[in-house]
Structure 1
Amino acid sequence: MARPFQYALLVVAGFSGAAQAAPVERLQVTGQRLAESPIAAQVIERHQIELLQASTMLPVLRQIAGLDVRQAGGPGGELSLYLQGSNSDQVLVLLDGQPMYSATLGTPSLQHIHPQDIERIEVIRGARSSMYGSAALGGVINIISRDPQQNQARAQLVYGTHNHREVSALAQTRGQLGGLGVQASKRQQDGFDQTTATDLGKQRDNPYEASSFSLRGDTELFAGAQLSGRYQYNSALSDYDENCFAGIEQVRCEPFIDSRQQATQLALDNQLGEDLRHRWTFSWYDERSYTGDRVSVAEAWSGVGDSFETARTQVGWEQVADFDGQHSLTTGFDFQRDEVDASNLEYMTDSRRQFAFYNQYEWRNADWQSSAALRFEDNQQFGLKALYHLDLAHELNSRWRGGINLGNGFRAPTFNDLYWPQGGNPDLEPERSTNAQAFVQYDTRQGQLEAQFFYQRLRNLIAWAPVAEDSLIWQPMNVSRARTQGVTLRWQHQWHQWRIDAHATRLSAEDRDSGMTLVNRARESGMINFSHAYPSAMLSFQLEASSGRYMNADNSQRTSGYALLNLRWEQDITRHWKWQFSLNNALDRNYQVRDGYHQAGRELRLGLSWQH
């Protein structure tokens, strides 16, 4: 479809509602370190996630304004995030405040998390390395897991296109000793042929299966002190297609990746009076992947049998002191240690650590609100970094609010960037960014309109490039400077039982050295969702759209744009039972977001759930 976004740019976005439509309210960020502050933040609530009937994170992440999500192929394919022009390794993704990115690849593996386990998602667009350190150049996405606040049990069965089968269950309880919650799910799909190539085993369907399990609990140790813990486990087996070579000969292969994630966190919250609280956290994150082949060949191709494991240990302390209801001071420190182990490779350095100390001061009165933060981070490999942000917002009247934000960020090169034996570059410098934003919000009484203007300058971008002119040897290098700028719009509206949620972004992302557009960035993207609540049912239909994107640095290859229609219906059968129906890509559009990879056509899902 040629330039389809022109028909959808004015209104695009999220969605809402449970069995009854939820009111539109001014969004305020809450939770670990994402405290209420003078920024244009966004919260995706639980009732919004439920309406999506999602079994993967892809449709959930598409509710985030300014975020363009790209997946290579179908379920199990890597999710790439582009937040106002920043790419996946420049956007920090957290799970309850715990970093989820890999120390080898630098990107978060979100494709295997089940949305059932998510209470809400909090989003800050713009540099926030001053509070979170490396990787928060373009923004922060904090995924909050479900907190057991009530007695509840739920089970669900789903069947759909491509022989999709899914079973999930959740149970929560709360008593005098505290709360406990457990969640488990299993998903399987025969898949579809994800690539356009038809040689050497690529003309086959790519199956996918994934399991997830989480356990969360909390208890009050004594008055004002609460101990909480979370354990998260995800595993997946994903088939994919690629060119496999034994020496210089291309061989037939049917590769797969077996991956596992484990995340553990313990937190102690202590309220010392009305105006002072402390929080201690200890977290551990482990990610493993193994590459195999379902075809036996005489000589193994390069990459088969590779096994990688990365582990991260983190300790943090934070104190928040409030003064007179108008001033607050946040003080904290973080210690983090990353380690990597590869079965077939030896890294020059296989561990590193960093220590950070930060302060944030906030001031607010009836009309004005401001914050300023300063962070000193000592990285074992790259020395001491000073990071900051400044925020200022003003309530013009009961309906208008505006503000400006300034900040900087950095991203340390990954272990693969630095030490990959076939092409790492130990001389790399961290990527740096400077970010400026301005926003305005208008309360329409029935909802809210918001516009955010952004400008980001990036330096020392890391990309693969030839070591010399006309050289056949490539390695990661600090190759260029870049600039991203544009506007993100959001609109929420409630009218009786109808609700509209929309977001749209227009972006310019330019390599300042070559003048070319940065790869994989869509110039325009967005979404609009209409939902209507009935006494015992909910209807929603959603349009998502994107312009094309360049696939290579010289801008000679470009994918076409697309517009997709998704339909969803859920109906109460009895007090405890309901059924769900979803039809994604209802018009069966054929489109690509990555050169050579198909996306799913029309997908039908039917679900039956029980809740008590």
Structure 2
Amino acid sequence: MQIVSCRRAAIAALSTCFVLPAAQAAEEEAIIVTASRTLQSANDTLASTSIIDREQIDNSQARDVMQLLQLEAGIDMARGGGPGGSTSLFMRGTNSNHTLVLIDGVRASSATTGSFAWAHLAPSDIERIEIVRGPRAAHYGSDAVGGVIQIFTRDNKGSHVRVQGGSYNSRLVEFGTGDSKGNLDYSLNATHRDTDGFSATNSKSSFFNSDEDPYRNNSVSGKLDYRLNDDTQIAFKGWHSDSKSNFDQGTQDNQNSTGDLRLTHQSTTNWEQQLSVGYAKDENETNEPSRSSFVQTNRLMADWKHDLTLSDNALLTAGISTVEEDTLNINRITDATVYDESIRNNGLFTSLQYFAGDHDIQLSGRVDDHETFGSHNTGQAAWGYQLNEQHRLFASYGTAFQAPSSNNLFHPGYSGFYAGNSDLEPEESESFELGTKSQFGAQQLSISLYHTEIDNLISYSGTNSQAINIDKASIEGVEVVHRYQAKTWQLKSQLTLQDAVDDETGEDLDRRAGEKLSVNYTRQFENDSQLGVEWLYRSKRKDDDERLDAYQLVNLSGQYQLASDFWFEGRVDNLLDEEYELQYGYNTAGLSAYAGVRYHF
């Protein structure tokens, strides 16, 4: 699929958008911070962005974060089995470790695998999700090849309790509270989830076992925010998850934590500085008859950022950062240390945003000094132009790099297979994007065309599936997002067309769909009750030497207000009882239903 054909298909698919009747003006623009590390209107960013806020999460009644993210343009999801199964996210066709995941500004992915444990993050712990598609290494350093997803933990206003149950003997209990007292804001949220689940694998798998694979998760998130005076604020935010997953070969115990302590000071009228210290911990205990292991990541990071207002139309951002990662892998069968490594990376970054009439310009650059791989320079240039009141055009070019994970470098593999490689080189990329953002009264339309080249792509395709650098991967595509906001209902459609190809073999990269379309319809009623319908289509995908069939999902959600502070809520997943696979040989849930109550006090 060539990018021009992608564009034609996208425009054709959206050609009916403008026959909708006129309606009220769109709601107040959302504010996003992840794209440039400064506060911006989502429509003013020179990047493709989207936001999932707390209201959307409540309306969807999503059981896990994958159900929220799989609807978003440019994102492919894969999971091995049911709840608690290993979950991968591919943004704009890049690898699962090419998306930088931040929780309250803290790098949250495992330094051993390079990927984030999406399965263990409960939607109830999330206030909002900011998604920025396209490279952001010039702002954040390594990992931001495909984009950035930042999770902001729950910010409760008042107290609530929620109880739910449903298919596969699933249960959820949640409690949250929060308030403001003088200069202090606080919030706390705690969630318990468990399910009997279903067999993770099917008969296609070489280790198929038809027994149920249950999952249990306890999580807590919280914040303390204190205003020392009009110019100074100190805040702490934290998240912790403790879970146990069963799979056909054994069990996994996981602990994931992040914490961020942040001091913000308005030094002068045109100078704000922010000092943050973050910590992340990732532990995994795997118990199998043939192989058992303990894997741990400890990450300590510090960041000192300055925002300098040079004039009414110029903002300079500059800062320094440091990250130290300690990784440990122990073979529980022999009690031998597989590897015990520590790696430090220091960075220096700067960005200039300049506004001149209808033109916006952003120039960003960063230098990273990686302890193992030396110095890496990344940059980004973006330009925006306001064509008229309805249409905005933007274009960007950016470079990025991805340092190999500890497993990529040091893991000895399993019986000689899937071993790491200490001779690996960092992956490097460059990306181009051209996009438009349009507003027609109550309608919003954005179209983005992108092209990414990745050199030294790491792939487990060497001798005995060892990690090696392959020559190059090319990814190109188009994303189209349309939203219509009426007085009592909202319709959001998202189309992604892409090619993600290994240039050496000419084959598609695994688990990336060439076509994906999602439609989300939400209807609000006078008593704050709500009904939602989700439809998702994904085309065929390659998975190793196999092909995964195309599939479609229809999900229903709703909440009905029984009293002023009391709601009945529920969700039906896979209404059509579609049989499909996200990974070859792994099962997915059939028709399933969940219901419960939520009370605010």
TM-score by length of 1: 0.90
Task: Indicate which of 286, 289, 308 corresponds to 2:295.
Answer: 308
Structure 2 residue matching 1:404: 3-state secondary structure: strand
Distance 1:477 1:539, change over 3 A: same
Distance 1:326 1:277, change over 3 A: same
Distance 1:256 1:584, change over 3 A: same
Partner in structure 2 of residue 194 of structure 1: 200
Structure 2 residue matching 1:381: 3-state secondary structure: coil
Partner in structure 2 of residue 272 of structure 1: 267
Partner in structure 2 of residue 463 of structure 1: 459
Query: Structure 1 counterpart of 2:229, which letter?
Result: F
Contact 1:569-1:581 at 8 Å conserved across structures: yes
Structure 1 residue matching 2:543: 3-state secondary structure: coil
**CA offset digits 1:35-76 (Å, max 9, x no partner):** 423223222222111111123111121243211112221110
Structure 2 residue 112 is matched with structure 1 residue 120: no
Structure 2 residue 519 is matched with structure 1 residue 541: no
CA distance in 2, matches of 1:22, 1:424: 55
Partner in structure 2 of residue 599 of structure 1: 588
Partner in structure 2 of residue 178 of structure 1: 184
**514-523 or 165-174: which moved more?**
514-523
Structure 2 residue matching 1:111: 3-state secondary structure: helix
Contact 2:330-2:339 at 8 Å conserved across structures: no
Structure 2 unaligned regions, length at least 5: 1-8, 16-23, 414-418
Contact 1:28-1:43 at 8 Å conserved across structures: no
How far did 1:27 drift? 4.6
How far did 1:174 drift? 0.6
How far did 1:24 drift? 4.2
Task: Indicate which of 257, 260, 274 corresponds to 1:262.
Answer: 257
Contact 2:71-2:536 at 8 Å conserved across structures: no
Query: Structure 1 counterpart of 2:532, which letter?
Result: S
Higher relative contact order (CA 8 A, sep 6+): 1
CA distance in 2, matches of 1:231, 1:498: 35
Structure 2 residue 348 is matched with structure 1 residue 341: no
How far did 1:370 drift? 1.1
Distance 1:74 1:8, change over 3 A: farther
Contact 2:105-2:260 at 8 Å conserved across structures: no
Structure 2 residue 473 is matched with structure 1 residue 482: yes
Task: Indicate which of 532, 537, 551 corresponds to 2:543.
Answer: 551
Contact 1:25-1:447 at 8 Å conserved across structures: no
Distance 1:201 1:452, change over 3 A: closer
CA distance in 2, matches of 1:515, 1:291: 36
Structure 2 residue 448 is matched with structure 1 residue 452: yes
Partner in structure 2 of residue 209 of structure 1: 216
Query: Structure 2 counterpart of 1:324, which letter?
Result: S
How far did 1:223 drift? 3.0
CA distance in 2, matches of 1:474, 1:41: 36
Partner in structure 2 of residue 223 of structure 1: 230
TM-score by length of 2: 0.91
Structure 2 residue matching 1:88: 3-state secondary structure: coil
Task: Indicate which of 345, 349, 367 corresponds to 1:354.
Answer: 345
Q: How many equivalent residue pairs?
A: 569
Distance 1:542 1:224, change over 3 A: same
How far did 1:200 drift? 6.9
How far did 1:202 drift? 0.7
Structure 1 residue matching 2:449: 3-state secondary structure: strand
Query: Structure 2 counterpart of 1:595, which letter?
Result: Y
**CA offset digits 1:576-600 (Å, max 9, x no partner):** 1010121110111111121101110
Contact 2:329-2:337 at 8 Å conserved across structures: yes
Distance 1:52 1:528, change over 3 A: same
How far did 1:11 drift? 6.5
How far did 1:289 drift? 0.7
Query: Structure 2 counterpart of 1:412, which letter?
Result: A
Of all paired residues, the percent bearing the same amino acid is: 26
**CA offset digits 1:237-262 (Å, max 9, x no partner):** 11112xxxxxxxxxxxx401000011
Partner in structure 1 of residue 389 of structure 2: 398
Partner in structure 2 of residue 33 of structure 1: 37
Structure 1 residue matching 2:408: 3-state secondary structure: helix
Contact 2:326-2:340 at 8 Å conserved across structures: no
CA distance in 1, matches of 2:72, 2:347: 29
How far did 1:29 drift? 1.9
**70-79 or 280-289: which moved more?**
70-79
CA distance in 1, matches of 2:196, 2:269: 55
Task: Indicate which of 315, 323, 330 corresponds to 1:328.
Answer: 315
Structure 2 residue 69 is matched with structure 1 residue 69: no
Structure 2 residue 146 is matched with structure 1 residue 142: no
Structure 2 residue matching 1:48: 3-state secondary structure: helix
RMSD: 2.1
Distance 1:39 1:508, change over 3 A: same
Partner in structure 2 of residue 102 of structure 1: 110
CA distance in 2, matches of 1:480, 1:520: 20
Partner in structure 2 of residue 427 of structure 1: 423
Distance 1:441 1:291, change over 3 A: same
Structure 2 residue matching 1:597: 3-state secondary structure: coil
Structure 1 unaligned regions, length at least 5: 1-5, 13-20, 242-253, 294-299, 468-472
Distance 1:140 1:34, change over 3 A: farther
Structure 2 residue matching 1:131: 3-state secondary structure: helix
Partner in structure 2 of residue 380 of structure 1: 371
Contact 1:24-1:493 at 8 Å conserved across structures: no
Structure 1 residue matching 2:32: 3-state secondary structure: coil
**CA offset digits 1:297-324 (Å, max 9, x no partner):** xxx41x22x1111100001100001122
How far did 1:325 drift? 2.0
Contact 1:27-1:42 at 8 Å conserved across structures: no
CA distance in 1, matches of 2:13, 2:145: 28
How far did 1:25 drift? 4.9
Query: Structure 2 counterpart of 1:65, which letter?
Result: A
Partner in structure 2 of residue 239 of structure 1: 246
**CA offset digits 1:313-364 (Å, max 9, x no partner):** 0011000011222000000111000001222253566101010000100001
Query: Structure 1 counterpart of 2:565, which letter?
Result: H
Partner in structure 1 of residue 3 of structure 2: none
Contact 2:542-2:548 at 8 Å conserved across structures: yes
How far did 1:286 drift? 0.7
**196-205 or 399-408: which moved more?**
196-205
Distance 1:114 1:325, change over 3 A: same
Distance 1:551 1:54, change over 3 A: same
Query: Structure 2 counterpart of 1:486, which letter?
Result: G
Structure 2 residue matching 1:50: 3-state secondary structure: helix
Query: Structure 2 counterpart of 1:146, which letter?
Result: R
Contact 2:455-2:472 at 8 Å conserved across structures: yes
**37-46 or 120-129: which moved more?**
37-46
Contact 1:11-1:503 at 8 Å conserved across structures: no
Task: Indicate which of 305, 320, 332 corresponds to 1:318.
Answer: 305
How far did 1:28 drift? 4.3
Contact 1:408-1:435 at 8 Å conserved across structures: yes
Query: Structure 1 counterpart of 2:175, which letter?
Result: A
Distance 1:350 1:391, change over 3 A: same
Runs of 4+ in 1 over 3 A off after TM superposition: 6-12, 21-28, 198-201, 345-349
